[in-house]
């Protein structure tokens, strides 16, 4: 052992303020980990801190490592003071965070639930959005025809609110007048992918926003919509896809802002309400069938039939066939009460189902400001 002292007095002082240990580094025979141990254990048994195996330390191990540990009382006091200061800082931070959180909750009440009121959820979302997101929405609306060029002060919430006006339509006196009102807003959707398909949809906003079923777009690379006046337009993309509700919001590739659009019924229809189903059954464009609302079904009831979608359903005896999917089910006011979705087949021709219009209200506020390409 080599000491850094030259006289007895200095040796005594050094022993008072420091300790000197001889440490050797050995290799555990079980896990091959390098372990530092005091030199005094040479020839004795030791336990590996890694694998906890007990082994005998060799009597001769090289090299030796000299380690000096300084026991500085003042530094220990400083460290304790620092730890106390850090702990106090943490306590103060937690207290301030809790206080500001309570103040924020008091001064910023939660948004109202629009499912049970006449307010617009979309308006509330927009008003509570950061300024840069509002600017993004406004810019997109101006560029893509969701608002006119002179409507620079309009916002997304106002445009979506126009989809469901509060003023109710007057019931039509006869069915032909109802058909003439609804049919211009109904589209036949032709899809292209691995296979060509046909479905239906309807315009929900004058700028060319269309509602249909999600399942008609699975595997689709391109789609076109055909109006009753034979106008054929390309689908620009989807504004929102909701597979859990089997609903999709599409945007037509057009600068037009005057498409005929249908209104959503503000309330679920009563049992016995007369309804008409529109669509393209079996590819026969712009067909119409008539029936009544047989019932309003909740998800738990429909699961018993093997239908697991978590949506409210309108049961109707109005005939629905393949190709009707996505078309509107309307009441005598011309308001959409459901989206034609399921038919039970030829054995149960009077048992058909449409997704309730309430579910459309639930997905409109999720629409993206940018049309995304159809899924490949």
Burial (CB < 10 A; 0-12, 13-18, 19+), residue 338, is buried
8-state DSSP, 141: H
Residues 6+ apart with CB under 8 A from 225: 187, 188, 189, 190, 201, 210, 232, 233, 235, 250, 252
Calpha distance 216→375 (Å, rounded): 11
Calpha distance 16→122 (Å, rounded): 76
Burial (CB < 10 A; 0-12, 13-18, 19+), residue 95, is exposed
54: Cα within 13 Å, side-chain hemisphere = 2
Place of tokens 């595997």: 219
Q: Annotated catalytic, 181? A: no
Residues 6+ apart with CB under 8 A from 178: 172, 276, 330, 332, 334
Give the three-class secondary structure for 142: helix
Q: Annotated catalytic, 325? A: yes
Catalytic residue among 138, 155, 246, 358: 246
Catalytic residue among 325, 358, 361, 365: 325
Max CA-CA distance within the chain?
120
Catalytic residue among 129, 181, 215, 240: 215
Q: How far, rounded to the nearest angstrom, does the alpha carbon of residue 368 sit from its chain's CA centroid?
A: 11
Calpha distance 57→48 (Å, rounded): 11
C-beta separation of 276 from 292 below 8 A: no
Name the residue among 138, 241, 228 with its Cα closest to residue 183: 228
The total of other beta-carbon atoms located within 10 Å of residue 328's CB is 31
Q: Annotated catalytic, 246? A: yes
- ∠ CA 160-162-167, rounded to 5°: 140
As a whole number of Å, the end-to-end CA separation of the chain is 77
**Catalytic residue positions, numbered:** 215, 246, 325
């Amino acid at each position: 052992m080599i000491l850094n002292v030259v006289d007895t007095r200095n040796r005594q002082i050094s022993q008072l303020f420091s300790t000197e240990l001889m440490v050797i580094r050995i290799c555990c025979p079980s896990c091959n980990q390098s372990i530092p141990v005091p030199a005094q254990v040479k020839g004795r048994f030791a336990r590996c801190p890694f694998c906890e195996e007990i082994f005998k330390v060799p009597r001769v191990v090289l090299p030796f490592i000299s380690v000096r540990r300084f026991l500085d009382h003042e530094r220990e006091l400083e460290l304790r003071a620092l730890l106390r200061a850090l702990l106090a800082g943490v306590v103060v931070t937690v207290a301030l965070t809790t206080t500001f959180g309570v103040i924020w909750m008091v001064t910023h009440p939660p948004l109202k639930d629009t499912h049970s009121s006449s307010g617009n959820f979309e308006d509330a979302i927009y008003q509570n959005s950061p300024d840069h997101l509002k600017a993004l929405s406004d810019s997109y609306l101006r560029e893509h025809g969701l608002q006119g060029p002179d409507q620079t002060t309009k916002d997304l919430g106002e445009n979506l609110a126009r989809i469901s006006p509060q003023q109710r339509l007057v019931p039509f006196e006869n069915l032909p007048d109802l058909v003439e009102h609804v049919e211009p807003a109904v589209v036949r959707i032709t899809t292209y992918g691995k296979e060509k398909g046909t479905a239906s949809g309807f315009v929900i906003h004058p700028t060319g926003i269309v509602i249909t079923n999600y399942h008609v777009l699975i595997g689709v690379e391109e789609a076109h919509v055909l109006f009753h006046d034979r106008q054929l337009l390309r689908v620009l993309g989807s504004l929102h896809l909701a597979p859990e509700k089997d609903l999709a919001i599409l945007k037509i590739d057009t600068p037009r802002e005057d498409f005929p659009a249908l209104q959503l019924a503000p309330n679920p229809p009563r049992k016995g309400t007369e309804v008409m189903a529109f669509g393209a059954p079996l590819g026969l464009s712009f067909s119409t069938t008539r029936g009544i609302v047989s019932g309003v079904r909740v998800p738990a009831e429909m699961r018993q039939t093997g239908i697991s979608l978590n949506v409210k359903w309108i049961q109707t005896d109005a005939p629905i066939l393949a190709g009707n999917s996505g078309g509107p089910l309307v009441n005598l006011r011309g308001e959409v009460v459901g989206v034609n979705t399921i038919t039970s087949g030829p054995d149960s021709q009077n048992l058909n189902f449409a997704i309730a219009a309430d579910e459309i209200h639930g997905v409109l506020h999720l629409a993206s400001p940018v049309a995304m390409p159809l899924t490949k």
